[in-house]
Amino acid sequence: MVNVIMHGCNGKMGRNIAALIADDPEITLAAGVDAFDEGKNPFPVFKDIRDCDTEADVIIDFSAAPAVDNLLTYCEEKKVPCVLCTTGLSEEQLQRVEEVSKKVAILKSANMSLGINMLLKLLKEAAKTLVPAGYDIEIVEKHHNLKKDAPSGTALALGDTINEEFDNEFDYVFDRSTRREVRPKKEIGFASVRGGTIVGDHDVIFAGTDEVITFSHSAYSKAVFAKGAVQAAKYLKGKPAGLYNMSNVIDNK
């Protein structure tokens, strides 16, 4: 049995994960953490992770960037592994994640879906052929009108996957409105769309001479992310200190 603390339990993803855990005999929700609570949850809820006195095997985090600082300190001090799903982290916070992962297991992923993580693997192979052939790379992501950060953490992860294959020689461009120049070859462009209730669409475009190859992923429900987070929590229980990602869960390594 895996005992979990849900950090951000009353958000949309927190509620999705709580519902999945309620039907899973291998995992249980021991406590939740959320600044906003109406007392309707069947488990204890704390307004701040620092107040949580419930023991757990793993924390699943779907909160907001400002709450991650205290979460990382808690994980470091209590030695509780964490599935860290919050996006929009600052460079300082990302460095802090690296530091804490040396003392306790942290699984960080910009996107918890199995499909996106398979796409990351496919992009590595595609880029090895298409980039030397001169294809331009553009990434378009679409999300609901309540999403605050842009581009999405998933879009950045898709770009990073390609960039890392070429020693990070590509620059990222998020806005071309002030530029009047021919597109440089060594850049990856990002475009963000925010509207309606779009759960998450990502297109990675390789545009060459007289042809375009597009890798696409569409999420129709937040359940795909919740399922991935629950899988990750099961995987992370008992793991030694280190920085993990969803590819470890997929490969079970």
Binding-site residues for NAD(+): 8-13, 85-87, 109-112
Q: Which residues are CB-neighbours of 55 under 8 A, at least 6 positions away?
A: 3, 30
Instruction: Find, among 244, 223, 226, the residue nearest to 82 by Cα.
Output: 244
Q: Give the span between the Cα atoms of 228 and 112, in whole angstroms.
A: 5
Catalytic residue from among 108, 143, 202, 227: 143
Contacts (Cβ under 8 Å, ≥6 apart) of 232: 60, 83, 107, 109, 112, 246, 249
Contact 243, 109 (CB under 8 A): no
Strand order in the sheet with 27-33: 45-46, 27-33, 2-7, 58-61, 82-84, 105-108, 242-244
Beta partners for residue 98, in sequence order? none
The annotated binding site for (S)-2,3,4,5-tetrahydrodipicolinate is made up of 144, 153-154
Annotation marks residue 143 as catalytic = yes
Strand, coil or helix: what is 184?
A: coil
Distance CA 41, CA 28 (A): 14
User: Is 227 a residue of the active site?
Assistant: no
Active site residues: 143, 147
